Structure 1
Amino acid sequence: MLAGELSYEDGLDALTVASDADAALHQAVAAAADRLFQAGWQPAELYRVVARLGDPVQAQVVAGAAGRYLAQFRDVDPRWQAQVEELPRNTVRADRIRLHDATLGLLLELRKLPRIDTLIPPPGTIAATRYRGRAIASWNGCGPFWPRPRAPISRPRRRRSRPRPRS
């Protein structure tokens, strides 16, 4: 259906009677979330973008996908982990058909999102495994992003001003 072989309504009807539809949708959302998190998206950003679309079920699916993605990794940047923990979960109760409908719509929207600049290293990257307030990789002892220390720039001497005569 996502490839365009079926219409949206026909695909939704096929999913409601398929026994393995839940697992297939779960796997498709996990793959889309994995792609976006590796492409620079943070959990809070992705949640906000999806929540602005107006469907709270889709936002809930994103929050669950972010939590499951995070659970795969042991050593995670604490900022990334805090974002996942702050996402609201289980705020909307949805039946199976509504959940399938929301998930299909979500998958179509997630396909449109571009790669963005990475501000916080996602779980599973080298930078995240070394982050604990220390340098990630130090080539000069000053940290990964700072230039090599140089001698301080000397300031020009201030000339003492002569006291003005009082009149």
Structure 2
Amino acid sequence: MSDATDATDATDATDATDAVDRAFAAALYAKGDEGVDTGAALLTADPAHVREALRRGEEFVRSAWQRGWQPADVIRIVRRELADHHATIAAELIRREIRRYKNQGLPPRWQEQVDELPKTAPRGDRFLYASALLELYRLLLRLPALESVGPAPGTPVHARVAHAEPRMLARIRALLAKAEATGYPEEAEALTAKAQELMARQGVDEALLAHRTHAPDTPAARRIGVDAPYEAAKAILLDAVATANRCRAVWNEAFGFSTVVGFETDLDSVELLHTSLLVQATAAMTKAEAAQRAGGRKRTKTFRQSFLLAYAHRIAARLDEAADHGTAAAGDEAGAAAADLLPVLAARDVAVTDRTDEMFPETTSTRVRSAQDEAGWHEGTAAANRAGM
């Protein structure tokens, strides 16, 4: 009885393998989209075929890790190129594949990305699910290699030097959250200014500590999503925040993210401050737009584009003005003379530039479409003047 059962299981496995091979040949490797329906029909003929296709999907995900992609990157490109239900399937595959590394641990920041994956949803119609699965695989199969911003799962990870104090980060997050929630511009400015002060202080403290202890500290890289619409203005805003915090940002317009290069503490500051300023800009834009529409204006798209461009432009100027003052104040608090502090920060700037040039030996400048709405520009500039930093 046992021998017969084993033989049946082996036959079923072979049938599933053959069916999935034919489904993939039709849907993934043939030209055009017609093969997706053929492949979906083959997969839905038997639940075992779908299970085998899902198992192989984990291999597609693993291949993406080896080409430099991370969970957040995969979900972002899937939503950009396909739809939310494809992203849900991708999240399911990522969770299945990540289980392989439960005994090894994940690289830094990966668990945070996994925790933020879309929630699992019911599969619904089997044919539609199989079609979406194959459409997802077509995309994953064609993902190009990206610049590495950290090791893939399964790669030995060396112990990291502790960076920003958790309590300090908690204080910064709390201040920025209050700045985003308040309806009073003056309060938002005071709260975010205090957060920026703490960021500058911890950045200088980290630089001096690494210098005095000769700690092995090198620039890292982090991808930050730059989502539609109005990506250019958002990328400009991120670049301004990165520059003010001694980092460099390189925008990948095709894939909807910027890669920010810098030391870990500064990268934390960039991500936190950029997110907060974007929230503040969106709230201010919505309020200003409502006032414009109440007055009979209807050019919503051009108003928003101009508003965000002006906001990013003015924030860049304000950040440049504040950078030198913040660094000097933080240095004084740390008890460092300019003669000691400036060479340390200069050396870190060189290291960041070298790492950026190494990762991106060929970059191009992008011409940004100019603002076309005068009211939007003025409102955006005013909102940036009111924004807390």
CA offset at residue 4 of structure 1?
Answer: 3.0
Matched, 1:113 2:146: no
Q: Work out which structure has the larger RCO, using CA pairs closer than 8 Å and 6 or more positions apart in sequence.
A: 1
CA offset at residue 97 of structure 1?
Answer: 1.6
Give the conservation status (yes or no) of the 8 Å contact 1:56–1:92: no
- TM-score w.r.t. the length of structure 1 is 0.72
SS for the counterpart of 1:102 is helix
SS for the counterpart of 2:137 is helix
Letter in 2 for 1:3: Y
Unaligned runs of 5+ in 1: 135-140, 147-154, 156-167
SS for the counterpart of 2:161 is coil
- Of residues 77, 85, 89 in structure 1, which corresponds to 2:119? 89
CA offset at residue 93 of structure 1?
Answer: 4.8
Equivalent residue number for residue 142 of structure 1: 215
- Give the whole-Å Cα distance in 2 for the aligned partners of 1:64 and 1:133: 33
CA offset at residue 84 of structure 1?
Answer: 0.7
- Of residues 70, 91, 109 in structure 2, which corresponds to 1:79? 109
SS for the counterpart of 2:91 is helix
- Give the whole-Å Cα distance in 2 for the aligned partners of 1:31 and 1:121: 17
- Give the whole-Å Cα distance in 2 for the aligned partners of 1:19 and 1:70: 23
Structure 1 runs (4+) deviating above 4 angstroms are none
Equivalent residue number for residue 30 of structure 2: 4
Which moves more between the two structures, 114-123 or 19-28?
Answer: 19-28
SS for the counterpart of 2:92 is helix
- Give the whole-Å Cα distance in 1 for the aligned partners of 2:121 and 2:142: 26
- In structure 2, relative to structure 1, the CA distance for the partners of 1:92 and 1:54 (3 Å cut) is farther
- Of residues 82, 91, 100 in structure 1, which corresponds to 2:130? 100
- Of residues 48, 53, 77 in structure 2, which corresponds to 1:20? 48
* Larger strand proportion of the pair: 2
Which moves more between the two structures, 56-65 or 16-25?
Answer: 16-25
- In structure 2, relative to structure 1, the CA distance for the partners of 1:39 and 1:144 (3 Å cut) is farther
Q: What's the % identity of the aligned pairs?
A: 28
- Give the whole-Å Cα distance in 1 for the aligned partners of 2:30 and 2:82: 24
Letter in 2 for 1:69: E
The number of equivalent residue pairs is: 142
Unaligned runs of 5+ in 2: 1-25, 163-213, 220-338, 340-389
